[in-house]
Amino acid sequence: MIINNKRVQGLYIYNQDSRSIEFTKDDLVVSGDSIYVCDAEVISGIDPAEDTFYEYYHPYPGSMVTSASEYFQNLGEGGNKYVSDQAIMGILQGYQFGLDKEGIITDWINQDGDTTLRLSQITDRPIDNLMLTETLNRGMIKVSHELDQIKSGEVSGQAFSTIFGFLEKDEIDYQLILSQYTYKSSDTLFVRIQELMSPLTGVSVYRYMSWEDGEFPSDGNTISGWRNVFSYSTAIQHKLDALQSYYDTLSSQLTARVASLSGSFRFQEKYIGSTSEGSNTLEGLEDGVYTVCVEGNSGGHIYSESIVVRLKSDMSAYSIYFNKLGGSLKVSPGKIELIDGSSNRFVSVYGRRTKT
């Protein structure tokens, strides 16, 4: 501003009394709710807010960018511009997708292939679609280990389910982390990398594709197969193969064992007698087949006999006589008794259980 024929640069408020004031270059002039920078060497009588073509003033700190697309379209034109809060997230996503404002990975691809990302195309191979979306150059997302493209994936002939591991607890949401980044290997050749890592096992695999400037790929034929990240991965792979073979053998053995037991039966102990026990009656038995072992004295000699009986809730009581021992065995629903033969006693009773 010219004050007493001297140039005094500063911050001034423009009002109805300011039309005769001479503002000079780089003065900051407040008009309404905005601040303007004077571009003219000397100017008076012009309200900065009315200088819509910015002939004498320009807004401070600059014109506002209201969208991410506007920012990228005007990138490189020069001049100071400030960004609206609506546009800042879109701009940041252009540099680093998948993260929120605090740098936390929030974007995902779930087990059904649905995603929070805006991909250039939608197919049943969303990881390919991510790689084939030209504007998504660098970022990180979460990927479900149950995604079909993961379940069917393999590296060096080894299934992803083996090298990435799995969780037996269904309530735990186990996710892989996918990183994607792009660089130029020459003035015209671009290379894009996808790296897939399992937090459960720490194993990582990667793949890549390349293209010449202006010839971005449109299909997945240009994408390489998955490869191991580490140079010593062959040794690890051999160990994984051996471990997989070991568990396959255990699984086959268990399957064969279960098959061999199908239809067989086992004995369940119902009673074990002793010389100090004199009970002649067993009650409360379930329906089923029982092997009853009895011991007693006959003619000065000790004999042991075993009898197999079947109990049914609707059966009629009947008696079975021993071969050498005196007395008999009476069988009725849920009950087995020793009749007569005062020296006879139960040694053991076993019930038969079918293996299923």
Q: Give the lowest-confidence range in 12-16, 87-91, 114-118, 294-298.
A: 87-91
Q: Rounded distance, CA 189 to CA 212, Å?
A: 5
CA gap 33, 356 in Å, rounded: 84
d(CA 157, CA 162) in angstroms, rounded, equals: 11
Contact present, 98 and 109 (Cβ < 8 Å): no
From CA 290, how far away is CA 288, in angstroms rounded?
7
Check pLDDT > 80 for residue 114: yes
For residues 179 and 156, the answer to whether their CB atoms sit within 8 Å is: no
Residue 50 pLDDT exceeds 80: yes
| DSSP code per residue over 200-250 | TT--EEEEEEEEETT----SGGGSPPPEESSTTHHHHHHHHHHHHHHHHHH
Indicate the pTM of the whole model.
0.50
Gap between the Cα atoms of 318 and 332, Å rounded? 7
Residues 289-318, mean pLDDT to the nearest whole number: 91
CA separation for the pair 189, 191 (Å, rounded): 7
**pLDDT class of 224 with cuts at 50, 70, 90:** very high
